[in-house]
Chains A and B, each alone.
Chain A
Amino acid sequence: MKIVNTSVRKVDGVGVVTGNPAYTEDLILNNNVLTIKLLRSPHAFAKIKAIDTSIALKVPGVEAIFTHNDVPETRFTLAGQSFPEPSPYDRRILDEYVRYVGDPVAIIAAEDERAAEKAMKLIKVQYDILEPILDFEKSIDSHILIHPEEVHTNFEIGYERKRNIASKAYSEKPGVEEGFVKSDIILERTYYTQPQIHAMMETYRSYSYFDVNGRLTTVSSTQIPFHVRRHLARALELPTSKLRVIKPRVGGGFGGKQTAVCEIYSAFVTLKTGKPSKIIYNRKETHTCTTTRHEMRLDVKIGSDLEGNIKAIDINVLSNAGAYGEHAPTVTSLVSYKTFPLYDTVPMRFNANIVYSNTMNAGAFRGYGATQGTFAVESIINELAHKLNLDPTEIRMKNLVEPGEGKYITSGDIKKCIEIGKEKFNWIEKSQVREVAPNKVRAAGMAVTMQGSGIGGIDTAAATIKLGDRGDFSLMVGVTDMGQGCDTVLTQIAAEVLDVPMDKISIHSADTDLSPYDPGAYASSGTYVTGNAVIIAANKMREEILKGASKMFNTNINEIEYLGNNLKIGNNLISLEDFAQRSISFEGMNQITTTGTWGGETSPPPFIAGFAEVEVDTLTGEVEVIDYLSVVDCGTPINPNLVQVQVEGGAAQGIGLALLEDIKYDKKGKPISDSLMQYKIPSRLDCKNIRVEISNSYEKTGPFGAKSVGEVVINTPAPAIADAVYNATKVRVRKLPITSEKVLLGMFDL
């Protein structure tokens, strides 16, 4: 391996750091583009009785205003999932019901923002204000029905509209009841995880126009261009052949842009007016009218013998889908999918209801349910360890999976991650409670986790490589780089197989007209799934070049050697540049283009053992993370630097989840964490010491042995920090985030 497993610079790095235009809004060339603003509901639940737009339409510069009377009847989902999506088709572009504070009521298109804002104030809406369900724990079988209309689901997902249940999930490893019978000790605990906001730096935005061929083109900051096109086709009742979606550079996603949050509005306005239009969500809309991490209540029961051999785990989940059901069944399922295999010999049962409520809707968010499951399962295992007077690392060594042939997990080693972490973190010393100054106590906690690499048996990705006329390669993929670096990683993989320097390869992503199909960047699939497709395409390219050369030079293919920049034909060297030129010319009439398509049967998990040292101020309850170490096993790191920064960034986001981030609503259901002032994400000073160790392994189904790393990184901070805080203070916070208030009030309650 020459290029793979080295920390090459990102292909687009210098360009973005020095400010080259690259993002959706930078690419709007038309000066007459309409600006779209959405009038949003001030009520958590209401039926629109009447809307009068006549005065608003008179504002100079207003082009059009659309209400639910103007949009197609068709209902759809905006979830970024392969067809047929396991999410209910429960929304329209605009509906006569508004189901959360911020649900769109009218679409205003105007020549500029000022005119749109002015018109917005002049739209008169009469609402029939309905009693909302703001507490998701009161949703099931409430007298309030959030979706009174008929809703289509593609297949059985446990949808029970009349009970406000958006879906159900269940899974079981047999032996749970017997396990509890055999247990010497049983703990039952309830944990809560909060809805988290993605808070990517580039807010949601899209830009639509008709191209010269009359095709409706949408440029969008999205993780899922192909799914967006399919959703637009359904929502706008247009054939996909009339639609094109282009994804330029994306300024962060974290799963937020795995839901088609805003594209329907610009596409609809352009369709209706014939004019180019843009919609750029402001920060407030981004924080209050998009999607969040699913809020969950997790009731967990664990049984064990006195030596810490876990006999059974039972998990009951109530998950908040919010107003619409995007990603409802799948996110919550990952509570079990990403905890069951980790403790593979322990009987486990999981039962979940995912319910509607009149809050902002939930969706995909890095970790995708594994985060919530990890918090609950790892927390109760830590609690069990304390009850049994066992070191948290010891109880895990007794119960964690041993990988092996024929098992669900065949490669990687979570126990090795723990061993490495114990040494590098200095666990023995740091896990001791110490008073380092008056009223300042330090202690440590740990947790483990796994994720997947792509969605086994469902998602497939393709990659196309073209040999250019001067011997350079174009690599075309539909996976979307949102900062994580898949453009670079895939270029590395292609360069490795094609045996050429990386600058011989240009990567293009993504355009539904030009890119081969890819579900998009989600489910930790970029390196693993699309990476494998790139390998296939690149190997085919080598074969096709050899075939082409064989024909051109009338030489047996076995006598031609592919050397990357050159071909060796007998004793002669011919440069690839020369060959390519001749191949595409009249002489060869051979444009070599190859495509690889790949989907995994399995979803091999990356692992992390996370270790947190905290310092608690016992006078104020303030918690500071002094040291955070993630030991990650992601197979072969294709680019160790990018792995490291993914892990560091995920830990920071996890620290935010653990300590700071929380959406607050007022009594009427209006979110008040509506800015980066009120919803605080970690700043530089909140993430002083995050460290990473890579534990090497080799996943034989992965590209060059690689697994994923993008999501697994966020799961361990919350349970590790919660246990560190417990060790320091004896206060067990089971409801995230672990605020200084909860810690201090907890200390007074002891």
Chain B
Amino acid sequence: MFSFSKFFLASSLEEAYTELLKNKKNIILGGTSYLRMGNTPWNTGIDLSNLNLNYISETEEFINIGAMTTFRQLETNILLKDFFGDIFNVALRDIIGVQFRSNVTVGATVFSKYGFSDLIPVLLSLDAKVKLFNGGILSLEDFLNEQNIRKDILVEILIPKKYCKTSFQCVRKSKTDYSIINLAICNFNNKITIAVGSRPGKAMLAKKTMAILNLSENIEKEIVNAMKHIGDEIPLDSNMRGSKSYRELLLSALLRKGIQEVLN
């Protein structure tokens, strides 16, 4: 049973961070949807609810998404749709239900680097960055590649502003299940970015496949070639939702569907 002894409502990020460092059993509370499924007794649960981290806004260069923003907000946001098309809506709207997505926060999901996440590949394909309270700004890709979970606070996600064509592809056993595998593809001025998640490991970019497509004069002609190569670079595995060999077949099939979508 998940539990903690003290609820700490932080009045500033500094205060939250100081509290976090006090004890290794102190933890930042996100939406607490996944945290509660764990079995760890924590010391202090630090709440960021009062820090105005619930926003989707824009600056000159970026769309900024606060850590406490919920999936439901991403899914219904006009600004994100204007720049990136329907990808947030398509990727998120089938996760359990409206109420669940109103609980789940961007910050907790990204910080936890969940392998099953449908959001992380989307952010990865859009070249997003994460802003940590202590660690500063770094690319989401680098952040995901870090093996350790930092003792830090994820403050916001930054997505470079660009009008692009996007596609989210996944296969789910039932309509509201976790993805067996998922792909997010972004086409910005004929430069393709491909992120693969639910491998079932955490999401990663398919860089070699991206290079094959991006070095080509005619992307469409390279699709078959790319379908052959993507399996070589993306490590896949089996879990209760699907075998490695099924994921291999899906990966190339979904790549084809996704590329076709971002070209049309």
> In the complex, what distance in Å separates the CA atom of A620 from the CA atom of B172?
10
Q: Nearest CB to that of A675 among chain B residues?
A: B37
**Is B173 touching A740 in the complex (CB atoms < 8 A)?**
yes
The answer to whether A582 has its CB under 8 Å from any CB of chain B is no
Q: Given the complex, which residues of A lie within 8 Å of B175, measured CB to CB? A: 683, 685-686
With A619-B256, A620-B254, A673-B240: A744-B173 Cβ-Cβ less than 8 Å: no
Q: Given the complex, which residues of A lie within 8 Å of B174, measured CB to CB? A: 659-660, 680-683, 686
The answer to whether B228 has its CB under 8 Å from any CB of chain A is no
**Is B245 touching A620 in the complex (CB atoms < 8 A)?**
no
Q: How far is the CB of A282 from chain B (nearest CB, A)?
A: 10
* 5 tightest Cβ-Cβ pairs between the two chains A and B: A685-B175, A619-B253, A680-B174, A741-B246, A664-B240
Q: Nearest CB to that of A660 among chain B residues?
A: B174
> In the complex, what distance in Å separates the CA atom of A113 from the CA atom of B2?
13
The answer to whether B177 has its CB under 8 Å from any CB of chain A is yes
**Is A745 touching B249 in the complex (CB atoms < 8 A)?**
yes
Q: Nearest CB to that of B245 among chain A residues?
A: A745
Give per-residue flags for A724-750: 1 if the beta carbon is below 8 A from chain B beta carbons, else 0. 000000000000000111001100100
> In the complex, what distance in Å separates the CA atom of A622 from the CA atom of B177?
13
**Is A620 touching B240 in the complex (CB atoms < 8 A)?**
no
In the complex, how many residues of chain A place their beta carbon closer than 8 angstroms to a beta carbon of chain B?
26
Q: How far is the CB of A683 from chain B (nearest CB, A)?
A: 5
Q: How far is the CB of B212 from chain A (nearest CB, A)?
A: 20
Q: Nearest CB to that of B169 among chain A residues?
A: A620
Q: Given the complex, which residues of A lie within 8 Å of B245, measured CB to CB? A: 745
Q: Which residues of B come within 8 Å of A, CB atoms?
A: 1, 3, 94, 96, 171, 173-178, 180, 240, 242-243, 245-246, 249-250, 253-254, 256-257
**Is A660 touching B173 in the complex (CB atoms < 8 A)?**
yes
Give the contacts of A608-664 with B (CB-CB under 8 A): 619-622, 659-660, 664
> In the complex, what distance in Å separates the CA atom of A738 from the CA atom of B254?
20
**Is A680 touching B240 in the complex (CB atoms < 8 A)?**
no
Question: A-B pairs with CB below 8 Å: how many?
Answer: 53
Q: How far is the CB of B242 from chain A (nearest CB, A)?
A: 6
**Is B240 touching A678 in the complex (CB atoms < 8 A)?**
yes
**Is A680 touching B177 in the complex (CB atoms < 8 A)?**
yes
Q: How far is the CB of B36 from chain A (nearest CB, A)?
A: 12
Q: Which residues of A come within 8 Å of B, CB atoms?
A: 113-114, 117, 619-622, 659-660, 664, 672-673, 677-678, 680-683, 685-686, 739-741, 744-745, 748
Q: Given the complex, which residues of A lie within 8 Å of B171, measured CB to CB? A: 620, 622, 740
Q: How far is the CB of B219 from chain A (nearest CB, A)?
A: 19
Q: Can you name 30 A-B pairs with beta carbons within 8 Å?
A: A113-B1, A114-B1, A114-B3, A117-B1, A619-B254, A619-B257, A620-B253, A621-B246, A664-B240, A672-B240, A677-B96, A677-B178, A678-B240, A680-B173, A680-B174, A680-B177, A681-B174, A682-B174, A683-B174, A683-B175, A685-B94, A685-B176, A740-B171, A740-B173, A740-B180, A741-B242, A741-B243, A741-B246, A744-B250, A745-B246
With A619-B256, A664-B240, A744-B246: A739-B176 Cβ-Cβ less than 8 Å: no
> In the complex, what distance in Å separates the CA atom of A748 from the CA atom of B249?
10
Q: Given the complex, which residues of A lie within 8 Å of B253, measured CB to CB? A: 619-620
Q: How far is the CB of A555 from chain B (nearest CB, A)?
A: 66
Q: Given the complex, which residues of A lie within 8 Å of B177, measured CB to CB? A: 680
Q: Given the complex, which residues of A lie within 8 Å of B243, measured CB to CB? A: 741
Q: How far is the CB of B251 from chain A (nearest CB, A)?
A: 11
> In the complex, what distance in Å separates the CA atom of A683 from the CA atom of B243?
24
Q: Nearest CB to that of A684 among chain B residues?
A: B175
> In the complex, what distance in Å separates the CA atom of A683 from the CA atom of B176?
7
> In the complex, what distance in Å separates the CA atom of A748 from the CA atom of B96?
32
Q: How far is the CB of A696 from chain B (nearest CB, A)?
A: 35
Q: Given the complex, which residues of B lie within 8 Å of A621, measured CB to CB? A: 246
> In the complex, what distance in Å separates the CA atom of A686 from the CA atom of B242?
19
Q: How far is the CB of B237 from chain A (nearest CB, A)?
A: 14
Q: Given the complex, which residues of B lie within 8 Å of A620, measured CB to CB? A: 171, 250, 253-254
Q: How far is the CB of A101 from chain B (nearest CB, A)?
A: 16
Q: Given the complex, which residues of A lie within 8 Å of B176, measured CB to CB? A: 680, 683, 685
Q: How far is the CB of B104 from chain A (nearest CB, A)?
A: 13
Q: How far is the CB of A165 from chain B (nearest CB, A)?
A: 31
Q: Given the complex, which residues of A lie within 8 Å of B240, measured CB to CB? A: 664, 672-673, 678
Q: Nearest CB to that of B246 among chain A residues?
A: A741
> In the complex, what distance in Å separates the CA atom of A660 from the CA atom of B174?
7
Q: Given the complex, which residues of B lie within 8 Å of A739, measured CB to CB? A: 173
> In the complex, what distance in Å separates the CA atom of A621 from the CA atom of B171?
9
> In the complex, what distance in Å separates the CA atom of A678 from the CA atom of B240?
9
